[in-house]
Each structure stands twice: as structure tokens, then as C-alpha cells.
């Protein structure tokens, strides 16, 4: 089983309002993201909340496969939120998929391809790529969980990737969404313009 940790704890300071609550066709982005993830083979989805948690929580899809956790240390950055998610995933999880909430348009079939490829290969880390660019969601083997737990909250998540560079499988996918994230309203508008002809993501 692969569990997914959705990082939705950031302050969205550059965006000006909570990114998970951004409306896409009158629906909160977090709801759209979870709807897509629930179409996949993921065993569970752990949504890590922090800033604006009270506002975001009601928009999180009610489903037995979806769980919310609160990261008291969310101001310390993504690493602290991923570590919190790892604390809360099922002991049965063979790996953890990392997906920031600001990479919301990855197709379900892409997620399934990532899961299937990871489970068939002995690599510690899988990173999807498109057009030669690395993207999200990455997958990390259970054997790396203790290393993440000992990582300082302020340290970048890429620290573990650098340590295990020889154990990374880069998987080319035909889904530009894996490389499309946003921090400002202008960047989100650019993404929606790029993807507006793709009806599978509801834009």
C-alpha cells in the first residue's frame, strides 16, 4: 500500500489568501485535488493542515480514506509537515507519496502509474518527470522514514534525495501537471491557461 501525504499547512503569504481554498469552477482547490486522488489506487490520503486550518477543514472531502492532521510546527516549513504526515500514516504503508497542495492538477492515471512503477522496482525514491523536468508527487520508501524523522524541521526535504541520489528512479510521464505549481495568482492563471483544454481536471 502507498499512502499520500498532502501538504496544505503553508501560510500562502505570496498568494495573498489560502491556496487550498482557491476556487476552481466555484469549488475549493483542496476538494478538487482530493476528488482526483480518491480515483487512484492510494490506500489512504493524509492532509496536513496548519495555517488557516479552521477554514480549510470543512472543505476536505469526507471519505474513510482521507484523514486530516494538524502540524503545530507548520511555520517551520514543508519538512515539518511531511514529518507530521509520516507520523500518522498507516503502519501497513510501504511508501509515502508527497504532494504539495499547490500541485493540484496531476491526473489520477499519472498517480496510478507512479504507484505501480514504484511497487515493481527496488528504488528508494521515485520522482516523476515531464519534458526533462522533475515534478510531483514523489514517492519515498518506508525504509527512509526514520531518516525523515531525524531531519531538522528547517532542513529541505531534498536533503534525503541528495543522500540517496543513487537510489532514485526518475519516471517520465505524459502529464505536464506534475511540473506545474503556483505561489501567486498570476502563476495560477498561467497554469489554468495551459491546462484549460484538458477536461479531466475540471478547469
pLDDT value for 194: 79
Q: Select the CATH number that applies to the domain covering 2-201 from these four: 3.90.1310.10, 3.30.70.3270, 3.90.550.10, 1.20.140.10.
A: 3.90.550.10
Pairwise CA distance, residues 139 & 191, whole Å: 24
Q: How far apart are CA 139 and CA 128, in angstroms?
A: 9
Compute the distance between CA of residue 129 and CA of residue 49 in angstroms, rounded to an integer.
Answer: 27
pLDDT of the residue at 193: 82
Summarised one tens digit per residue, pLDDT across range 125-150 is 999 999 999 999 999 999 999 999 99
pLDDT given at position 198: 61
pLDDT at 133: 96
Which stretches of the chain drop beneath a pLDDT of 70? 197-203
Q: How far is CA 61 from CA 22, 37, 56, 109, 185, in A?
A: 15, 11, 10, 20, 24
DSSP string, the chain: -EEEEEEE----TTTSS-GGG-EETTEEHHHHHHHHHTTSS-SEEEEEEBTBHHHHGGGS---TTEEEEE-TTGGG-HHHHHHHHHHHS-TT-SEEEEEETT-TT--HHHHHHHHHHHHTS--SEEEEEETTEE-S-EEEEGGGHHHHHHS-TTS-THHHHHHTGGGEEEEE-S-GGGG---SSHHHHHHHHHHHTT-GGGT-
Name the pTM for this structure: 0.93
**Cis ω on the peptide bond leading into residue 19 (within 30° of 0)?**
no
Q: Which three cell numbers stand for residue 177?
A: 501537471
Residue-level pLDDT at 155 = 96
Give the position of cell 501525504.
5
- The Cα 55–Cα 24 span in angstroms is 17
Amino acid at each position: 500500500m502507498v499512502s499520500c501525504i498532502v501538504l496544505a499547512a503553508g501560510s500562502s503569504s505570496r498568494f495573498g489568501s489560502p491556496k487550498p481554498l482557491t476556487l476552481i469552477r466555484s469549488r475549493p482547490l483542496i476538494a478538487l485535488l482530493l476528488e482526483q486522488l480518491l480515483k487512484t489506487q492510494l490506500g489512504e490520503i493524509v492532509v496536513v493542515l496548519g495555517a488557516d486550518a479552521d477554514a480549510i477543514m470543512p472543505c476536505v472531502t469526507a471519505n474513510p480514506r482521507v484523514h486530516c492532521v494538524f502540524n503545530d510546527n507548520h511555520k517551520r516549513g514543508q519538512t515539518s509537515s511531511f514529518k507530521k504526515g509520516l507520523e500518522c500514516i498507516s503502519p501497513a504503508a510501504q511508501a509515502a507519496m508527497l504532494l504539495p497542495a499547490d500541485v493540484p492538477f496531476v491526473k489520477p492515471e499519472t498517480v496510478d502509474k507512479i504507484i505501480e512503477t514504484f511497487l515493481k522496482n527496488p528504488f528508494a525514491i521515485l520522482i516523476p518527470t515531464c519534458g526533462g523536468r522533475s515534478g510531483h508527487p514523489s514517492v519515498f520508501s518506508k525504509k527512509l522514514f526514520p531518516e525523515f524523522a531525524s531531519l531538522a524541521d528547517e532542513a529541505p526535504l531534498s536533503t534525503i534525495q541528495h543522500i540517496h541520489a543513487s537510489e532514485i528512479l526518475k519516471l517520465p510521464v505524459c502529464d505536464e501537471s506534475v511540473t506545474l505549481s503556483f505561489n501567486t495568482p498570476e502563476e495560477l492563471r498561467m497554469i489554468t491557461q495551459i491546462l484549460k483544454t484538458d477536461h479531466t481536471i475540471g478547469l
